[in-house]
Chain A
Amino acid sequence: MMAVAGAWRALKPVAFIAALLPLLGLIAALLQMGSASLGPNPVRELLHATGKESLNWLLITLLISPIREISGQWQWLTIRRMLGLWAFFYALLHLAVYVILELELDWSELTQEIIRRPFILVGLASLLALLPLAATSTQRMMRRLKKRWQQLHYLIYPATALAIWHYYWQVKADVLEPLVYASALVLLLSWRALQRSNAFGRLD
């Protein structure tokens, strides 16, 4: 019993480190430590890596509820908000790389890009949808919003869908990977829908 409780206590730090590792990897590659490198086009690599990490952690965050339900272990919920915040952090980093390194803080170009390239707008919409979630991720906000907190945080679904759309749209020819992400999201949504209908079934 003690050992099990210890293992649950380790869950949070382990999850934290798992989400931190990609960031450390990027920093090492950026500084060219050892054999780590971003290759001949570092800005593009940073852009793609941060975007993908954000998507990965969004989907992992969405995976927590099913894991909890299936395993029957409520402790899984203790890492969900933190993982969502990591997804938001990588999304912010993605935006920062785009605006600072890719566009070199050229604001008129940024405006032009947002107007002309719908996939940029879709990405931005995804980030904006995540913003209130990050802002209300504290214990205090949870208590204050009560039931509305859960409702607000369903925004993670459209945010993830928009992020996948953003990815799909910018791919040149091979849409396999964005489609894998899309399928994962559809799977997670269907599972949730199924859970709901089951719950209603029991009520009747």
Chain B
Amino acid sequence: MTRKRMSPRAGHILPSEITSERDYFDKPSPIARRDVLKTLGGGMLASLAAGSVTPATAATERTAKIAGVKPSSRYRLDDVNSWEDITTYNNFYEFGLDKSDPARNAGRMKVKPWSVEVTGEADKTGVFTLEDILRPHPLEERIYRFRCVEAWSRVVPWVGIPLADVLKRFDPNSRAKYVEFTTLMDPMQMPGQRRAVLDWPYVEGLRIDEAMHPLALLVVGVYGHWLPNQNGAPLRLIVPWKYGFKSVKSIVRIRFTARQPRTSWNLAASNEYGFYANVNPAVDHPRWSQAKERRIGQSFLAPRVDTLAFNGYADEVSSLYRGMDLRRFY
């Protein structure tokens, strides 16, 4: 099933070019029914709803389009989630705890100019501007499944560069066994950091062979546009076979290290969030099952779908964990 879903599609069309069609299919309820309901005093009830239910954030403004993005022929998927699904439902605790908070609060983050400090076990360390980091690499669109540890998922057309291509330019040395990534720390721009919900700044990490795996992506855009702030602008990680919290956002520091990094969620609750955090339907979170997931952007009547081992990327990544007890190294 995995293979079939990931097979190349005829013709390379960027999802950004067919949004209107997709948006049409994304609507959970038939238009006709909605119109009828609107005429039945829907406006009044709608204003009631606004008071009691978190209203969906207004459609977020599109960031600028990225020129010259090549669609990957290998990583294509159907049923891509809409721009709204992707940009209004986010876990980015630096901007608040509710899923709609980042879309509301992330606007104040300044992403230009942006630089990244590269330190640790590598020959070419230093501070690099985002432009320096991106310049030599062609940008590629890859459609990946995204699975949150909270048992919801979506399908996202990311724009980025294989992480390995970037990391290799810093010439990591033989002591570099892990890579650590750090998110911006600035409570003035990130109001969520004013409360110690997590031990700020947010830190994530990968084993060096995971970081060098061709699936790991350094992401700058979504849907053919530059990343909106709430999605981790201007530079974030996407590790599609791991739970979403591994895919650290708004990266300001990359550190090559000999020892396993102390990562944020693992520090907060080590029995619930492991360092590896590979998507695994057979290993439950202590408080909920990971066997199934809810695809967001669907009707409330849509059933959950089975979660796939390594989020459907087992063929490509399971060899990284050969001989490891995945129950122990969750």
Chain A contact residues, CB within 8 Å of chain B: 21-22, 24-46, 49, 53, 101, 104, 109, 112-113, 116-117, 119, 169-170, 172-174, 176
Contact = CB atoms under 8 A, between A and B. Distances in A.
A39 B89 contact: yes
Interface stretch (B93-101, B159-167, B180-188, B205-213): B93-101
A36 B50 contact: yes
Nearest to A38: B53
Contact of B52 (A21, A112, A116): A21
A25 B197 contact: no
A39 B54 contact: yes
B48 A28 contact: yes
A22 to B, nearest CB: 4
Interface string B160-195: 000000000000000000000000000000000001
A87 to B, nearest CB: 15
Given A44-B152, A46-B300, A49-B52, A36 B287 contact: no
A154 B301 CA distance: 38
A41 B268 CA distance: 25
Contacts of B89: 39-41
B49 interface: yes
* Secondary structure of the B contact surface, majority rule: loop
Given A26-B53, A43-B300, 9 more contacts: A25-B52, A31-B42, A32-B28, A32-B37, A37-B49, A37-B55, A40-B81, A43-B294, A109-B289
Contacts of B88: 39-40
Contacts of B48: 21, 24-25, 28, 36
A203 to B, nearest CB: 45
B34 interface: yes
Contacts of A46: 300
A33 B32 CA distance: 12
B64 interface: no
Given A30-B300, A116-B284, A44 B53 contact: no
A112 B284 CA distance: 12
A32 B29 contact: yes
Contacts of A21: 48, 51-52
B53 A36 contact: yes
Given A34-B38, A34-B45, A104-B303, A40 B50 contact: no
B297 A40 contact: yes
B56 A173 contact: no
* Secondary structure of the A contact surface, majority rule: helix
B287 A25 contact: no
Given A25-B53, A35-B50, A174-B197, A101 B300 contact: yes
B37 A31 contact: yes
A169 B287 CA distance: 9
Contacts of A36: 42, 45-46, 48-50, 53, 55
B259 interface: no
Given A39-B54, A40-B296, A41-B296, A173 B45 contact: no
- Name which of B52, B152, B297, B299 has the most chain A CB atoms within 10 A of its CB: B52
A24 B44 CA distance: 10
A17 to B, nearest CB: 11
- Name which of A25, A39, A113, A174 has the most chain B CB atoms within 10 A of its CB: A39
Contacts of B50: 25, 35-36
B288 A117 contact: yes
A24 B89 CA distance: 24
B65 interface: no
Contacts of B53: 25-26, 29, 36, 38, 45, 49
A137 B28 CA distance: 40
A25 to B, nearest CB: 4
B39 to A, nearest CB: 10
A19 to B, nearest CB: 11
Contacts of B81: 40
Contact of A39 (B93, B99, B197): B99
Given A173-B198, A174-B97, A42 B299 contact: yes
13 contacts: A21-B51, A25-B48, A29-B55, A31-B37, A37-B55, A39-B54, A40-B84, A40-B154, A40-B296, A42-B300, A53-B52, A109-B289, A112-B289
Nearest to B33: A31
Contact of A119 (B34, B43, B287): B287
A113 B288 CA distance: 8
Contacts of A43: 294, 300
A96 to B, nearest CB: 12
